Structure formats: structure tokens, C-alpha cells
Amino acid sequence: MATPRELTISSVMTQTLTPTIADRLRAIVGQNHVITHPDRLVAYESDGLTAYRVVPRAVVLPETTEQVSRVLAVLHGEGIDVVPRGAGTGLSGGALPTPDGVIVGTARMNRILSIDEQDRLATAQPGVINARLTEATAPYGLYYAPDPSSQSACTLGGNVAENSGGPHCLKYGVTSRYVTGLTVVLADGEVVRFGGAGTEAVPSLDLVGLFIGSEGCFGIATEIEVRLLPAPEGVRTLLGIFDTMEAAGRAVTDIMASGLMPAAVEIVDHATIVAVEASVFAAGYPIDAGAALVIEFDGTEAGLDDDADRAEQCCVAADAREVRRATSEEERLGLWKGRKKAFGAMGRIAPDLLVQDATVPRTRLPEVLARITEIGQEYDLKIANVFHAGDGNLHPNILFDRQNADELDRVEKASREIMSLCVSVGGTITGEHGVGVDKRGYMPLVHNEVELEMLRRARWVFDPNGNLNPGKVLP
């Protein structure tokens, strides 16, 4: 597996694109939408995971399905690798360029093509920002449920590629539950359609389901049809403050065992609280608290107060030091602040940040967190935890400085131990960020050789030459 260190040093020489190929691409997408000058390619060397940097050979920014098809046909004919890129917010290096590959970016494919109020469906281009879809459908009383924490910036194409989740996916499920149809351009430029028109049961093998989460290795989705939900009538939000992580964990277990169906259950640990409160984003969480728990219920008004009362009782029974309840939208945002701003606050206390992503059975959370703390101590690293407690999805944030080679090495080793730990308790190596390049090396922890070969073959069906996003996902 490629370690961050190897890739950080941009030792690999990026090849430039021959003028002929560049001109052919410009003829398709327009003069200004093919970037070939090395100085202008530097900005594309990383996505949201900056531990890795590779300058691409060129960047092409098409606007329509037809343009994507023609661009891929040209590149396929020349045997050039393609790395699809949306907003570049991914945290597993899924859009990391390859030195001889061309980035095909969807930034200009940002139109919502249709909103069908009656059938509660919308069709959008891949470059549409997740939150924009909800904004556009709000006038009809509808919204798009998957809400990655980056939803104000990440795009639907990337959400499909990563099968993205978010805080509210505890109740509502991840992207695959909402995508009903896809127009896909394959590696050779062929355009195919999977599903469509809200079909619940496809009269065949579920190709939509197979494509979602393929991390850019199967094709580029150029039209995405999604199911919309009616906006919930009401919402109740609670914040529980606990002396220990163990107590917060008990509260979560009780809430889930009691039959309640919260929309979100999120925890920030002591280290995160300290970081947030020391930053400009101070949310008013007590800095001596062991954990803070955000619980949210939504749905029809009737019953919401009952649900919130019962959750509060669970917190109190688990020795919560304090439980706050929002009485206005403003207060609600205030309770969420410490959770939502955690990522940015980390950015202020260390030059580099690796946001890890793994999933463990909910009941194993306390012991896993205790062990992660030990791992941090063993490798002398600062690790702060933020996680979707309801579904056991952990995000250990490892703080480091890229300039420090020794520290980078320890980050890599600690990451591997955390992943092994999560797998050993029955979990897996990603919850929602995808495998990308960062966790490719951990794939053998969760798949045996037979399974890996099946995955390779599935990829071969879509892209026999392996030109699409090479070096990602599969070891």
C-alpha cells in the first residue's frame, strides 16, 4: 500500500498531454474548459484528503452527457486513464489524480433537470450540490434525505460514487436508498441507462445498486434520478452532557434498545469538546465533560415530545450531568454547533488532519474508543473522536503536521491499528467516506482473496481495460 509519505513527495513526473489530444478535447468541451498548463493543474493535486498529492496530466470540464461520452471516447482511444472528480470534498482520496491520468470534473454539470412534485422524484446532473437539491425542492414541501456533513459543498455525483451517508442516515438510510435511476457513461464513451422513473423493483439484476458506491471505477453518472421525501412536520433536538464516554455510550444503547427511532444520534468526545471550545467556534459545551450527545427526532408533530421525553429519561438514567432541549431553530443550531464545527476547529489546532472513518457494532463503541485513546498515546498522536453513535460510525480525527516525516509515519501506523481494531470487533473499514486510495491497503482486512477477485471481475464488466480511476478501492 502506498503510504502518505510516498505520495506526498511528488516524485512522479506528470506527463503532459500532446497538443493533438488537447485540441480534440477542446473541440468537444470548448477552449477554456481543458486545463493543460502545469501551473494550473497544481490546484487539482488533492481532494479533501491532503496527505496525498499528485498533479494530473490535464483537467477536462464537460457540461453534458454527450460531451462526457465524447471525451471518454477520445481518452479511451488513446489509452489514457480517467479520474472522475466532483467538488473534491472526499476524505479517502477518491479523486486523487494519477500522474498520467486526466481528471474529468463535473463542476460545470450543475443543473437540476427536473423536479416531479407528484411522483416525488428529481433528476439532476452530477455536479449539483447536495444541499441545492433540497433548497430547490423545498417550495414543494419536499427534500433530499441523505445529508453528508459536507452537504453544503459536496455533489450528487460524488454522493453516488461514495454511497454517502450523514447524521440523519440513522433513520433515513444512505444514498443507495434514494437513487432510482442513472444515466452512466462507460469508460469507452458508451452511454447506458439503469433503472429510472422511480422504479422500485427493477425487472432485472439491480444495476443501479451495483453502480452506487463504485467510487468512479465503473463509469461516470451524468444524470441522477432520486426519490424525494416530504419534509418532516416537526423536529426535537436534545443535547446530553456526560462525565464519561462510557455513560454516553450507555445512554445511546438504552435509547436504541427502547424502540425509539431517532433521526440522528451524534457524539463528540472530550478531546473534541476541548478543541471546539478553545476555537472561535466555542459552542458552550463544558470543557470538563467526557462526552456530549446530540439526539434528534423528526416526523409528525404528534408523539415527538414523548420521544424526546423518553430519550431524556435514558440520558438521566445513564447519569447525564445535564440535558438541554432546543425550543427554537436558533437554539437547535446552537446545540448542533459543537458537532458541526468540530472538523473546522481541528483545522485550527494542527496543520494537517486525517479524518478516519470506520464502523463498529454500536454496543462495542465504549471499548473501541478506550482502545483508540490508548493507540493515540502509544504513537504520541492527538486523536479526537466525532461519530454517528446511532449506527456505530466512527470518525477518529488524527491531528498531525505533514512536514514532520516521523509523525506522518506514526499516523499511518496508528490508522492501520485503528482499522484492525474496528474489524476485529466485527466492524468494517469505512462507514461513508469510501475506500479510495487511503484505505485500499485495508481491504484484505475485510475481504478474502475470493471476494477481492469477485470485486475485480465486477469492475471488469464495466471497464475491461481498467482505465477508470485506477489505483483506487482494489488493492
Residues that bind another protein (CB under 8 A): 32-33, 35, 37, 39-40, 42-50, 59, 61, 87-89, 105, 107-108, 110, 127, 129, 132, 150, 152-154, 279-281, 340-341, 343-348, 351-353
Instruction: Return the DSSP state at 231.
Output: P
- Nearest distance from residue 34's CB to another protein, in Å? 11
- Nearest distance from residue 300's CB to another protein, in Å? 32
Instruction: Return the DSSP state at 195.
Output: E
**Which residues in 186-290 belong to E strands, given as ranges?**
191-195, 220-227, 229-230, 234-242, 264-269
Residue number, 132 or 362, with CB nearest to another protein: 132
- Nearest distance from residue 124's CB to another protein, in Å? 15
- Nearest distance from residue 81's CB to another protein, in Å? 19
Residue number, 47 or 312, with CB nearest to another protein: 47
Residue number, 218 or 343, with CB nearest to another protein: 343
How far apart CA 397 and CA 345 sit, in angstroms, is 11
Q: Which grid cell is 377?
A: 498515546
Contacts of 415 (CB under 8 A, 6+ apart): 354, 356, 398
Q: Is residue 113 within 8 Å of 222, Cβ to Cβ?
A: no
How far apart CA 42 and CA 373 sit, in angstroms, is 36
- Nearest distance from residue 201's CB to another protein, in Å? 36
How far apart CA 240 and CA 314 sit, in angstroms, is 10
Residue number, 236 or 339, with CB nearest to another protein: 339
**Which residues in 163-310 belong to E strands, given as ranges?**
179-185, 191-195, 220-227, 229-230, 234-242, 264-269, 291-299
How far apart CA 396 and CA 435 sit, in angstroms, is 16
- Nearest distance from residue 185's CB to another protein, in Å? 18
How far apart CA 288 and CA 471 sit, in angstroms, is 44
Residue number, 371 or 402, with CB nearest to another protein: 402
Residue number, 13 or 302, with CB nearest to another protein: 13
Residue number, 180 or 397, with CB nearest to another protein: 397
- Nearest distance from residue 133's CB to another protein, in Å? 12
> What one-letter code names the amino acid at 150?
S
How far apart CA 37 and CA 59 sit, in angstroms, is 10
User: Vertex 354, ends 472 and 272: CA angle to 5°?
Assistant: 145
Residue number, 114 or 152, with CB nearest to another protein: 152
- Nearest distance from residue 51's CB to another protein, in Å? 10
**What residues does 59 pair with on adjacent strands?**
35, 103
